[in-house]
Structure 1
Amino acid sequence: MIKKGIRRQIVMHYFIVVFSTLLLAEVIFLFAIRSYYYDSIYSHITQHIKLMEEYQKFITTSDDGRTDLANLLSNYKLNYTELQILNMQGDVLINSSEFQPDVSIKTSDISQAQSGNIGRWVGRQPITGEDVMAVSKMEQTNGQDTYIVRYVTSLERVNEKLLNVTLLATGVAAAVLALVLAFSLGLANSIVKPLNTITAVSAQMARGKFNVRIKGDYKYELGELASTLNYMAQEIVRSNQVKDDFISSISHELRTPLTSIKGWSETINSGGYDPEETKIGMEIITKETERLIGLVEEILDFSKLQQNEMKVVFGRVDLKELLQEIMLNLWTKAEKRSIQLRLDSVDKPLVEGDANRLKQVFLNLVDNAIKFSHENSFIDLQVTFEGNNVVVKVHDTGIGISEDHLVKVKDRFFQVDPLNGGTGLGLAISQQLVELHHGILLIQSELGVGTTIVVRLPRLLEEEQAEGLQATPYELPDGDQGIHES
């Protein structure tokens, strides 16, 4: 007995379908064979009757004008068949066998013959108990005497042949079912065994063993499933590695400013210092503290975005003014590396969004461009209209990003160059903030040539500008609530 499972379901479905098909085909086949044999017997008797009717026209009658029943019986007789001559009431007047029925025959062939048709009846002979076929036809002699000529033939030999055919057909069907059963078991095993392998490997993955892989060249959906699970394990391993790298990196990022703060704090507390040295130490403590705050805020922002808890206040934002402000904020940093920031913008590129969050996005993009650009180079900020969108492009001619890194650069914790510091969350946060504004962030880059980052945001149309600003509740994805100004 096959235990419950996919194997049993496949075998049972195949078996039921094939069994039903074979049963239907066998019933139709046996019915057709039976009809063929029975119709052949009936056709043979009716042909004989027609020939005898033609012959009977030339037979002379007795002196009193009546046909002799014995002659009629002799003329109409048929080999291996009992012939009965009946009157119109169904009483047997004479027959070719030694058995003489003492009751009237009331079978359906008699009533059909009485109505002028050739009657046919298949049933069991009351006297002998064997299966027979009776064919009856009303005959008129000399225009005055009317009789019913009835042929009764045994079907035992025919039924025996039909039984042999039935047994043969049943044997063939049983052999086909056995073959189908073996085939379905093989098919089920070809599906279940890979599934068992995949299940076993998945169980190991569930226990944290992500170094295992599903081996085997599986086809179709099973192959896709195996490939997907292997890819999942590979991505989990990669994510864990990225997470570990992030923890290592953020630990270093946090340790450096904390070490500076601690060192200068101890120096100041120890006494014996001059005012100029104290000023330098306090500036370093302030700078490193701001750096720590920035790192913590970046991590907190990412956490809020992941949990859909980021609060946004939507209003009218002029991207040209926003970018000019960002250029002023980063001018000193760019000036230290002799990098020139250039802005080319259309008038009034208005969008609906949170000015602080959009500033966070473009600050991160421009800051990255400065970080990875060569000295004495340019960074171009371009703002244009494309249909109902405002498109902002941040282009630099820096080190660029390789194709391998380009597909991962927006992943959380990923850093193209870990030595440059940071959490690896900047682009991931920017991506999600742009999506919160129903926009798109694209990165185009070529290693050694430069990078262009494209941000496409829905444009605030004139009719929307004319409505003015009014704060209304705004629902973020997954039910998060914020403030929406329109």
Structure 2
Amino acid sequence: MFKMKNKNIRTKIISNFFVVILITILVFELAVIHFVHYFYYSSMEGILTNEIKLSADLFEAYLNDDLNNIVLQDYDVFYKRTEAQVQLMDNTGIVLMDSIGSSDLGKKLESEDIISAQNGNMGKYIYKRNFNNINVMSLSAPLKSRGQQIGIIRLSVSLEKIDAVIQSIIIKLIIFGIAVSLLSLLLSSLMSLSIVKPLRKLTLIAHQIAEGNFHIKAKVDRSDEIGELARTINFMTENIQKKEQIKNDFISSISHELRTPLTSIKGWAITLQSEDYGMNQLMSDGLDIIEKESDRLSGMVEELLDFSRFVSGRITLQKEPLNLVSLAKSLSTQFKIRANNEKIDLIVNYDRDPIMILADKNRIKQVLINFLDNALKFTESGGTVVINILDVGEEVTLEVIDTGIGITQEEIELVTERFYKGSNSHSHTGLGLSISEEIVELHGGYMEIKSREGEGTSFKVILPKGGLFRE
């Protein structure tokens, strides 16, 4: 009756916790990667800045001469002091000297760093070489002679090793992030159990309470919200038990109080009908109605008394060997007149005779009467009611099938609920099927109800033989 949804609270706790951890790890790793990249690139920029400043200061202090003469005579002073690529350019950006003899020699360069140097400032430019797709950092600074800028010095260095180090760190961070994510997933799963496990226990208890077990108690071993929920459930069940007891006592009391006057009313109605008091037809019909209504009310009282016994646990079974075929034939004869009056065919089918079980005859009879009464009540003229009795090894199947109006799919799960009356029901108390199910379960069996609206209904009972097997 109760089904857990696929996406339960534990899944939500784990997924939410994991998403928070994952976002935290991603933010942390992105921040670390940015810092590592900035640190290594800034360090390289600092080294190149120091070297280019030293070269520019050296030129201004000691090599204060025409740039073309420097290129021809003292160019080695610049590139012997560094491992970087050294380029000397005039103020227009034409490369006059290249320490590695690259294809830039004699060409005019117009990168960002050179433009900054042309304006008298130090400039930086990071780019990828076309031929090997490796990052290169270039710094350019103005060369001055007697306060006048006469050229540009440019230092360029490959960032291949730095990028390899950064990539290695990134891979390690990714592995670390995956490991932390998996660990957090495991921890969140374990942590969620501390919340979900007691909630599942309380859910099972709530289901049992919903099914009518008001004597069950929730274990209170926590001081948090879950413990408070357990205490609330226990308080609720205690109140329900008190109210149920009051209701059951009232039903039992009023049923007993009604039984005596109903017996007297019926008795006097029968007595008056049996004697000749010169009654007219109207009085005779009135007494007949009184007798029938007394029978109907007595039946209702008996159902209420049975209900009171079942819920209070006072019911006991008087088991004895019982021939179900004989019982079905007897009840068929009893209901035959009613069936004929309503133009309904009443049929009994069985695969062998006798079919014996160990059961309380009166209680099984009560179940079968209830089934037949419902079947005849909801089957229209021209319909059929069939009693099937089958011997299936250690069990016996007792089934009543009708061609009546049927039960809606919405109501079929509710017809055995106490005091439930369907939309088409003529039940007096709504207890008949509920009591029948209780009787069947006390015998160790179970009841099945199948129905199609407009086609009919099947009431089936599967009962154990109770040790009475066919030889």
TM-score w.r.t. length of structure 2 = 0.50
